[in-house]
Every structure is written in structure tokens, then in C-alpha cells.
Chain A
């Protein structure tokens, strides 16, 4: 789950990291009064869960409260990478002397958190990694010991900042580490961390991603979820214990198991078709669950045929067949459908489906070819 800048910075502040004075708002006239309270000169920042806000014109400096209102009006009417801007953060404008990058994420290969710093702040760290990799320093943190002082000092010494700032910088690294651990985050990033003209350190921008599996420990953070983060279909699928990702092809897929669902997409592609989605219905195959999945698939107007690929293990093939038939009774569809059933009681399942005039297949290759042919026939008609 991604957090907005204003939410991330609030969490940073709760862990002792200095942030600019500011406030989030959803309306432009309030932006004006916030700017007045902050002394007039402010930055109006769109709050959307995508990168590239600055380039899209979603971050503007305003010298007066009237300018702030005008900028907020414009930004609140924008879409950035297809996402509507619903909120803006009004921050006091800060005079910047130096920009630093400081972030923490998980290193999968080393199985521990890694804290990353760079003297090249204010640009995307992936960009620095490409163009100037020597400017990036990392420390790997033992998950049982936590961040140590010497590691924070190493980051400070490696980012070319004057030693008078080390103590403050080290305190910020500790705060960031605590924020990361105490929220079950998978990413916490301050970019830029600035040294101001007044020689203060401050987190000017922030970004956090939380581990969905850790949210049960943080009900207050779970409530911060922005519904724009994921498509309505993805949310709905999750409610039924399924996992859905929309793609731009024309063959809808319903599969049990994530690996098999990806393999099914790949095989459709191998034979010249294009998958419309990833959909893993997980374990079990009740009519209700299958019906919900079918509804999500056929709501996509690009879908021209549907492929079911079910490996009957613990879930039996005949159960799945009954689930599909009951679901289609509840949710009739004119789209051609191909069902591939393998494993436990697959033959019984295929008989049930064949009796109901559904196209069945034994191999995955055969199923993919039949679904592609069916989609083509629909296109031609």
C-alpha cells in the first residue's frame, strides 16, 4: 500500500524528523488561507500516487496567498498519468542549499533492510544509479540488531556534508529506520533531504510503501489507503479471495494458482494471442467465487473469449465444473468460453461441461489455441 507525501511526512515527523510546516487540503480557497498562515510564500504540491509530479506541472511555487489559490485551483483540476488530483499539500517555501537522498528498503537477495544515501538528492535514485553509481552509498542492516550508529555515521561521512550536520543527519537516519520498522514498510524515502540556507536539515519530500501483509498490526495506517491506488476490479477480486491484474489483451483468463495463471498468460502469448488479465482464484471453486471472477473478467470490453485453466488438486474437477455452470447461470454471457480441467476428477468435470455445450480442452496448448480461435471468430463477426 502506497502512502501520499503528506502522510509519509506526517509519519516521519512522528519519529522526530523535521519537516516543513504545511497542511493538506482538497479545496483551493482553503489553500489560500493555509498559505496566509504560513506567511505567504508556499509550494503547492499535488498528492497523487505516481512519480513525475514536478514534470507534469503538479508542483508550483506561489509567492502570495492569491497565487497559492490560483495554483491549487489549476492543480486540483489536473490528471497526472491518468490519476485525478484530489488533494494538494501546501508547504512553506524553504531556501535550499544542498539536496541529499536518504531511503530505506528491503534487499531481497541479502534478506535484510538496506539504507541508501546519496549526495545527488532531488532526482530519482534509479536515475543516479544509472548515471552516477559512485554517488550512492548503502549499509545493510541486521534485522535482529537494527541500524547502528557507525552505519549512520558512514552514510553521513559518505555524502559529502560538512561534519557540523552529522549529528542531526544521524538522528534523521534513526528516525527513518524507526518509521520503516514500526509501520511494516517496504520503502521509506526522503528525497530530497535538504540543508536549508539557515543550516537546518529537513525532509522536503517523502514517499512510503507499506507491506499489505503487515497492515493487521496497523489498522490506523490501513485506513489511509487511497482507493485510486488500485483499480476497482482489483479491489473487488480481493474481496473474494482472488487476485486480479488488468492487462490490455482480449483473452480473459481464470486460473487457480498465481504461477499457473502467469504460465497461462505466457502460453496464450506464445500462440499469438494476448491475455486480457491475470486472475488467480486461489483455492476452492464455489459458484459464488467463480461467478464474481467471471463478472470481473467480462466487464472488460476488450475481452473476446474467456479461458478457464484449473488444475484439480485438492479442489476437484467436478466441483469446479459445477461452480462454472452455476456461475454462468447467475451471470449469463455470450462470449465464447474454453475450459481446461486437469487433475482430480477432471474427466467427470469435462463431461459435465460438454453436456452443457461448453468447449473443453485437455492440454494448455490446445486450450490457448481454441480460445485464440474463438476470439478471432468474434472479431470477424
Chain B
């Protein structure tokens, strides 16, 4: 029914005792996600969520005690790189980092190390993952999507919710929604996610939500042209964004003429991908 997260997910939350960590862990448990542990240094031995979730000092001890196979990170940006590396070294194969504002040089090192370890990172600066009806790993509101066969992948947060909401209003369900995040250097890319959707028997079509900056959408267009059998439709935000200005997300900037919405839409069109003029049109483009 989904990619990356499902009923077999045993989730560990790094930074679980912080305000965000506590709030979203409660939402994830309500949704039915199996949260097995939390990590906050110097709070090992405590319990949260009404005594249901144990807190550990280190990821290693949490994994040994609970068999956690996915980690979700809420720690502040200056400690995030360390948190990601700690999870990778403890043998966690899937790490989802919500935190915004991690220095780009930290992310380049982290990404290179994770590639060598064969560990997957989703994010940072992302809303996480939602497999409707099955598991929620992150901060996407659970009630805005229903289960179904549309895969959604996006660099954005609320714009993704907008599209999920439009799909739900048209009674279209989602297999998994993957927020890959708005940073210039991230873990999982559009292409990585498209590969997973292409291989997933329960995903029949895909919505790609991109924005200005970088060339991730252009690479996705090449992959779609050469390898995708499933229908992909897109929305690209930032047609009216001025060059040289960072539009909220660290990665949303047109630099040296590269990363414009026009170029991305052109590349996608050349790969047979229809791009909606506004997010509300997306359900109508899905056949």
C-alpha cells in the first residue's frame, strides 16, 4: 500500500521530550504509528506519552532495547547533523529529519557519509512521510489524506497539504506522501522517490510538487522520460519569484539563471509530464 513507512515501521523519535517532539509524537500515536522509543540525552530512564514510550540517552541503547528501524529527528539545527550521524551509526536504515536551518556544509558531509553507509535520509527541512491509514512519520496532518493509489512527492510543506486536500476532496487516495524538504542539500531526491513509486505495485500515478532552485526537477524529468511507466503530473511553485532572492526555503533561489520555474516546466513537458497552473487543478490532470 505504500513506500518507506507502513505497519512494520518501529519508530524512534530523537528530541522526543522537546515541545515539538512531544506534540507530534502524540499525533503519530493517535494515527496508529508504532512509536517504540524516544531519545533525549540525559533523560534516559524517563517515560513519555503517559508511560507508554521509554526515553533513552543514546540511539544505540534505544535500538538495542526496542529494535527501532526508523528515526524521526526534531532536535535543533545546530545539533541535527550529529543526531543524523548517531542514528546512522546505530544501524537505523531510514532517518527522517524535520529540522530547518542546518548549515549546508554539515549536510554535505552527512550526505556523503550516509551514502557510504547505505542509509536513507528524508529531509531535512521537510514535513516527513504519511502513508494514509497505515503510518505517519512526521508532521503532515493525518486527516487531510485518504488511502489510495496516488504517490505524492514534494519539496514543500503546506503546499503539499494543499494538494493532499484537493485530492481528498476529489475522493482520490494516496499511497504515500513524501516530503523531501526545501534545503539545497538533502537526503532523498525526487528521482530516488520516483524509483520507489515506480516499483511499488500499489502506486499507480504520481504527483510531483517542485519549486524554483537547483535542478532536482530536471533530473526527475530525465528519469521519468527514460524509466517511468506510471503517469506523473506536476506543480512547480515560483514562476513569479524574482531571481537572486531566497523565497523562504534555503533551496528556493534562482542563481546565475539556473533553477527557474520555466526551465523545470519545460524539462517536465519534454518528458510528457503535464504541469498544473494552480495546485487545485492537479486532481483533474490525473486520469
| Residues on A facing B (Cβ under 8 Å) | 106, 108-109, 111-113, 126, 142-144, 181, 184, 186, 211, 213-214, 216-217, 243, 245, 247, 255-263, 265-270, 275, 278, 280, 311, 313-314, 342-344, 363-365
Closest CB in chain A relative to B161 CB, distance in Å: 5
- Inter-subunit contact B111/A111 (CB<8 Å): yes
- Among residues of B, the one whose C-beta sits closest to the C-beta of A109 is B215
| Minimum CB–CB distance for B159 against chain A, Å | 3
Q: Which residues of B contact A363 (CB under 8 A)?
A: 280
A213 touches B102 (CB 8 A): yes
Central interface residue in B155, B248, B251, by most chain A CB within 10 Å:
B248
Is B55 an interface position by the 8 A CB rule?
no
The one of A109, A142, A259, A313 that contacts B211, using a Cβ cutoff of 8 Å: A259
B33 at the interface (CB under 8 A from A): no
- Between B158, B212, B239, the greatest number of chain A beta carbons within 10 A of the residue's beta carbon is seen for B158
Residues of chain B with a CB closer than 8 A to A256's CB: 158
**Could you list some 27 contacts between A and B, CB below 8 A?**
A106-B108, A108-B185, A126-B256, A143-B109, A184-B104, A184-B105, A211-B103, A211-B105, A213-B77, A216-B78, A217-B78, A243-B247, A245-B242, A255-B158, A257-B156, A259-B157, A259-B211, A259-B252, A261-B247, A265-B241, A267-B278, A268-B240, A275-B240, A311-B162, A313-B141, A313-B158, A313-B161
The total of chain B residues at the interface (CB under 8 A) is 59
Q: Complex formed: what's the CA distance from A94 to B156 in Å?
A: 50
Given A211-B105, A257-B156, A262:B165 Cβ within 8 A: no
- Tell whether, in the assembled complex, residue A262 and residue B104 are in contact, meaning their CB atoms are under 8 Å apart: no
Q: B237 is contacted by which of A109, A113, A184, A266 (Cβ under 8 Å)?
A: A266
Chain A residue numbers with a CB within 8 Å of B67 are none
Task: Out of B105, B157, B162, B247, name the residue touching A278 (CB < 8 Å).
Answer: B247
Contacts of B158 in A (CB 8 A): 255-257, 259-260, 311, 313
Which 5 pairs, one residue from A and one from B, show the smallest C-beta to C-beta distance? A258-B248, A259-B156, A257-B158, A259-B159, A214-B103
Is B241 within 8 A of A263, CB to CB? no
Q: Does B41 contact A (CB under 8 A)?
A: no
Question: Does B184 interact with chain A (Cβ within 8 Å)?
Answer: yes
Given A213-B250, A258-B252, A266-B240, A113-B219 contact (CB < 8 Å): no
Q: Is the CB of B108 within 8 A of A364?
A: no
Give complex CA distance A257, B249 in Å: 9
**Do the beta carbons of A263 and B279 come within 8 Å of each other?**
yes
Does B123 interact with chain A (Cβ within 8 Å)? no
Give every chain B residue within 8 A of A217 (Cβ-Cβ).
78, 103
Residue with the greatest number of chain A CB neighbours at <10 A, chosen from B108, B185, B215, B250: B108
B136-173 CB mask vs A (1 if < 8 Å, else 0) is: 00011101100000000011111111100100000000
Contact of A213 among B104, B212, B278 (CB under 8 A): B104
Bound CA–CA A363/B281 (angstroms)? 11
- Is A342 a contact of B165 with CB atoms below 8 Å? yes
Cα of A47 to Cα of B139 in the assembled complex, Å: 45
Q: Is B240 touching A111 in the complex (CB atoms < 8 A)?
A: no
Q: Inside 8 A of B165's CB, which chain A residues have their CB?
A: 311, 342-343
Chain A residues lying within 8 Å of B108, measured Cβ to Cβ, are 106, 111-113, 143
Confirm or deny: B235 has a beta carbon within 8 angstroms of a beta carbon on chain A: yes
Query: In the docked arrangement, what's the CA distance between A113 and B111, Å?
Result: 13
- Checking B104, B246, B278 against A214 with a beta-carbon cut-off of 8 angstroms, the contacting residue is B104
Tell me whether B219 and A109 are in contact (CB under 8 A): yes
With A109-B215, A258-B252, A278-B247 as contacts: A263 and B162 at CB distance below 8 Å = yes
Bound CA–CA A265/B248 (angstroms): 13
The distance in angstroms between the C-alpha atoms of A106 and B162, with both chains bound, is 32
Q: How far is the CA of A344 from the CA of B140 in the complex (A)?
A: 12
A354 to B98, CA, bound (A): 35
Instruction: Indicate whether A144 sits within 8 Å of B112 (C-beta atoms), given known contacts A213-B101, A214-B104, A258-B247.
Output: yes
Q: Name B82-109 residues within 8 Å CB distance of A.
A: 101-106, 108-109
Q: Which listed residue (B215, B237, B250, B278) contacts A270, Cβ 8 A? A: B278
1/0 per residue B215-229: CB within 8 Å of A?
A: 100010000000000
> Is the Cβ of B214 less than 8 Å from the Cβ of A314?
no
B252 and A262 within 8 A (CB): yes
CB neighbours of A262 from chain B (8 A):
159, 211-212, 237-238, 240-241, 247-248, 252
The answer to whether A106 touches B239, judged by C-beta atoms less than 8 angstroms apart, is no
B144 touches A258 (CB 8 A): no
Q: A213-B103, A245-B245, A247-B240 are in contact. Are A142 and B112 (CB under 8 A)?
A: yes
B250 touches A364 (CB 8 A): no
- The yes or no answer to B3 lying at the interface (CB within 8 A) is no
**B155, A265: Cβ atoms closer than 8 Å:** no
Query: Does B277 lie at the interface of the complex (its beta carbon under 8 Å from any beta carbon of A)?
Result: yes
Residues of B within 8 A of A108 (CB): 184-185, 214-215, 251
Among B101, B157, B235, the one with the most A-chain Cβ atoms within 10 Å of its Cβ is B157
Task: Report Cα–Cα, A56/B101, bound state, in Å.
Answer: 36
> In the bound complex, do residue B103 and residue A266 qualify as a contact, i.e. CB atoms below 8 Å apart?
no
Residues of B within 8 A of A280 (CB): 248
Residues on the B chain within 8 Å of A247, using CB? 240, 242
| Interface status of B206 (Cβ within 8 A of chain A) | no
Residues of B189-236 whose CB lies within 8 A of A: 209, 211-212, 214-215, 219, 235
